[in-house]
Structure 1
Amino acid sequence: MSLRTSSGFYRQDINRTVWDVPTRYGDLIQIGTGAYGTVCYLVMPFMGTDLGKLMKMERLSEDRVQFLVYQILRGLKYIHSAGIIHRDLKPGNLAVNQDCELKILDFGLARQTDSEMTGYVVTRWYRAPEVILNWMHYSQTVDIWSVGCIMAEMLLGRPLFKGNDHLDQLREIMKITGTPAPDFIMKLQSQDAKNYLRGLLKVPKKDLNTICCKASSEAVSALERMLVLDPEKRVSAAEALELPQFTEFREPEEETEALPYDHSMDNTELLLEQWKRHTFTEILTFQPPITEIKDSKETSL
């Protein structure tokens, strides 16, 4: 049952929750519930698919790979400048529309451990080795490793590192990166990790040209800069954007940076009404880029 309230709004009771919504969003239906609320309408730019589904449907040309990876790196430059690390980049977290425009999804989910992602082992294939084995305090370059894995998969048509468990994943990685050098092993915080790596048979680094034999030299060079075992030697998002691989699509004026993210409210204890007011104020003051307003199409589910 719904009831018209103030001009342009109506009220509807769903699952013992009262909703006051604009009349343009009619016939609300509950989509799902969680620990902190219920979702009944969800409005966002329509993307159509994600990169994982797209790769299953077709083999991507190198031009499209360049454009998609360029957009990922541009997004990462922005969030990294704000001090935010995604931590769980994978094809399913990258939405793509029919114009090959890409958006990064699911921020925050990456904080979960593998034990909290029961049955979702595929996420490990794109994770940096230092995250998989908790080797050290990690930085923004964990996301760059994931980009390298995703880019390689787009070029090859299959995942690059397809481990069955943590150690198998590491073995698959070192078949290509080679076993780590002593200076890297010294940086590790875990003595067990140091002992394990020192006990491994030495494996030389593999030339990625032999694996991505159909890719251009520029594409392979970009992968070589991303898929580096030592996170301190991996290219940053801003540095990666400067690589020759992305010259064709670059729009330097669009490669923006953000102000550092303000964490001060994260652990604040406020009354529910105060949180509602903060959220509402944030929505009212949000100013999307002009291009977004002009080009995006809304869809409701």
Structure 2
Amino acid sequence: MSTPSISTDPSSSLVPQPHLIFAKLVPANIEAQRLFSELAEAVLSNPTNPEYMHYAKFLHIEPYSPNPPDHQTRQESQESQTATDTDDEISVKSSPNYQGHYILSFEVDPLIPDIGWVIGFGRRSKKQSADSGPVDLLLATPGTSSAKFEVAGKHARLFFDKDAVLTLKVFSHRGYVTALGNEGFKEGQRSITTRKSRVSFGSLSYSLEFSDLNEEEYNNALRKYLKNHLNREAPSSDISATPSPMDTLVGEWNIRGTVGNGSFGVVNVTKNIRTGETGAAKCLVRNSIETHAKILREIDTLKALPRNPRLLQYFAEYYERGERWYTGILDESDERYRLRTRPEKVIIMYGPFVRFNLSEELFLKQPLNIRMAAFYQVLQGLVGLHGEGFIHRDIKPSNIGVVKQSADTIEIVILDYGETVRAERCEPCPGKAGTIPFLAPEMERRPYGKEVDLWATGIVGMQLFVSGGKLLWRNVVNAEAAWRKQVAVLQSAPANSVQNLLASMIAWDPAKRTPADIALKHPCFNDVRIACDVETQEASKLGSKRKHT
């Protein structure tokens, strides 16, 4: 049987077509095409039959129009014929009457929107079981043998996951195989990461293809669908957008957009195609022993961080040449020693993904309770770091990321551990760590400890609650008089105010700075403490279930 030439024009269909079609499932091998033709004939012959009325909503049906097969379809056809039919059966069934595909539209609801579009053979017997019953995308006429094609009554389902990414999940527990691309699986789920994917259910093969809806149309329709049918708000479009040719699959991680572009420190959103976990992919370039050491230090720090929802969590790492160790020539006597080694990309996957940080001017206009909650959570992150012996050394607004925010809640995470060390004391190294306006007075003059993070956090607090985002000095070492004047103003504030707490956090003497765990108990946080603690506990439970290598 030849590959059919199927129109993408909805008006060519023999059954009414909805608008806002965002994807289609096209039969790809002979058996899938033959079963679709038989189903189409049954639907067209029984237009008022209640059994078919729901299934017809998801069908695009045309008269059969043969077209020469390509190599892939010819190979699939041969495999299908060998696996399921005798020569006599093939000759009888080789001329179908209809062709077409299944459609997914934002205007046509599945039976149970919360579950998504269920795919399979439907009811297989009067005796119901977990993997039988009504479906949305019916792959064959009722009564077709499940065992023959290894397709369950409810075989799999397509749905929008928590990030609104189209996902394929096994429904049946009968042990039949579902495949996406070249990977077969009998349980679990996989994110759809390409605009055109080969999908198989048992011995039936299909091509899952996104339509030509532009991204604005797609995201507007998706937003309405999620709100009206699933009572969910749409996530950022950088995650929920349809797959792009610019996406990169690295192991189990699909990275949205071009990775790297030859620059240092590019961050893209990424998603685990198996677990659905969303995170960030930081693309670095190592081209010297120095950059090699810096990158490995950041990776090792991420791996060692404690489980804390206010800190980043390591997921995975990827080396372009597959080797953790830099592949430059280390022997000075080697004539190639002075030759420039080809730059190599290193990608670090971690979570969560953040969309903006506290340096954004817009954040300063947030209500006081939101800013207080964010500041409280920064202190929670410091408790986690300091409790495990880490010193961040570069706390500042741009290194505090906002994971999500609503009208009355916020979730933040501390970013960038490139300067983080695990030590009780550090020797001063001017110009090598930190950002000048946030440097504690001792940081570039004498040995220092975790108290430098308390100072830097206090300066962030000054921007949030005192100065309207402005920095009151560039380098406090050269502005001690201005510091004294400001501290006096802070100390005159009520004892239960955040200004009172800030005065103790930017004490000149490190020993007099209020530790993060004590600062969390300050009365200025009374209105946000309970909500923040509950959110942190819930996030901690979720984080403890994650396993990444």
Task: Pick the TM interval, shorter chain.
Answer: 0.5 to 0.7
Larger relative contact order (C-alpha < 8 A, sep ≥ 6)? Answer: 1
* 1:48 Cα deviation from its structure 2 partner: 1.0
Cross-structure match for 1:30: 259
- Structure 2 residue runs of 5 or longer lacking an equivalent are 1-180, 191-248, 261-282, 293-318, 320-344, 422-427
Number of residue equivalences:
212
Of 470, 473, 476, which aligns to 1:159? 470
Q: Contact conserved, 1:65 with 1:151, CA < 8 A, in 2? A: no
The secondary structure found in structure 2 opposite 1:154 is helix
Structure 1 length-normalised TM: 0.58
Of 79, 83, 90, which aligns to 2:396? 90
Q: Which has the higher strand share?
A: 2
Of 207, 212, 230, which aligns to 2:489? 207
Of 42, 49, 52, which aligns to 2:359? 52
Q: How does 1:58-73 map to 2 (within 5 A)?
A: 58-73=364-379
Provide the rounded CA distance (Å) in 2 between the counterparts of 1:253 and 1:68: 12
* 1:40 Cα deviation from its structure 2 partner: 5.3
Of 465, 482, 500, which aligns to 1:221? 500
Judged with a 3 Å threshold, the aligned counterparts in structure 2 of structure 1 residues 205 and 95 are, in CA distance, closer, same or farther, namely: closer
Of 505, 509, 512, which aligns to 1:230? 509
Q: Aligned letter for 1:79?
A: L
Provide the rounded CA distance (Å) in 1 between the counterparts of 2:476 and 2:442: 12
Provide the rounded CA distance (Å) in 2 between the counterparts of 1:151 and 1:68: 10
Cross-structure match for 1:170: 477
2:435 corresponds to 1:129: no
Provide the rounded CA distance (Å) in 2 between the counterparts of 1:27 and 1:106: 21
* 1:144 Cα deviation from its structure 2 partner: 0.8
Provide the rounded CA distance (Å) in 2 between the counterparts of 1:91 and 1:7: 45
Q: Aligned letter for 1:47?
A: V
Q: What is the aligned-residue identity percentage?
A: 24
The secondary structure found in structure 1 opposite 2:502 is helix
Q: Which has the higher helix share?
A: 1
1:111-143 CA-to-partner distances (Å, cap 9, x unmatched) read: 6955457xxx9x211111110x323x2122211
* 1:231 Cα deviation from its structure 2 partner: 0.3
Judged with a 3 Å threshold, the aligned counterparts in structure 2 of structure 1 residues 158 and 253 are, in CA distance, closer, same or farther, namely: closer
The secondary structure found in structure 1 opposite 2:251 is strand
Cross-structure match for 1:280: none
Q: Aligned letter for 1:88?
A: D
Provide the rounded CA distance (Å) in 2 between the counterparts of 1:138 and 1:102: 27
User: Considering only aligned residues, what root-mean-square deviation do their CA atoms show, in Å?
Assistant: 3.8
Of 417, 426, 449, which aligns to 1:107? 417
Judged with a 3 Å threshold, the aligned counterparts in structure 2 of structure 1 residues 7 and 116 are, in CA distance, closer, same or farther, namely: farther
Q: Contact conserved, 2:476 with 2:483, CA < 8 A, in 1? A: no
Provide the rounded CA distance (Å) in 2 between the counterparts of 1:223 and 1:171: 20
Provide the rounded CA distance (Å) in 2 between the counterparts of 1:96 and 1:26: 20
* 1:56 Cα deviation from its structure 2 partner: 5.0
* 1:169 Cα deviation from its structure 2 partner: 3.0
Judged with a 3 Å threshold, the aligned counterparts in structure 2 of structure 1 residues 59 and 255 are, in CA distance, closer, same or farther, namely: closer
Highest CA radius of gyration, 1 or 2? 2
- Structure 1 residue runs of 5 or longer lacking an equivalent are 10-18, 179-203, 257-287, 297-301
* 1:91 Cα deviation from its structure 2 partner: 0.6
Judged with a 3 Å threshold, the aligned counterparts in structure 2 of structure 1 residues 66 and 173 are, in CA distance, closer, same or farther, namely: farther
Of 239, 248, 251, which aligns to 1:21? 251
Q: Contact conserved, 2:357 with 2:402, CA < 8 A, in 1? A: yes
* 1:248 Cα deviation from its structure 2 partner: 2.0
Cross-structure match for 2:382: 76
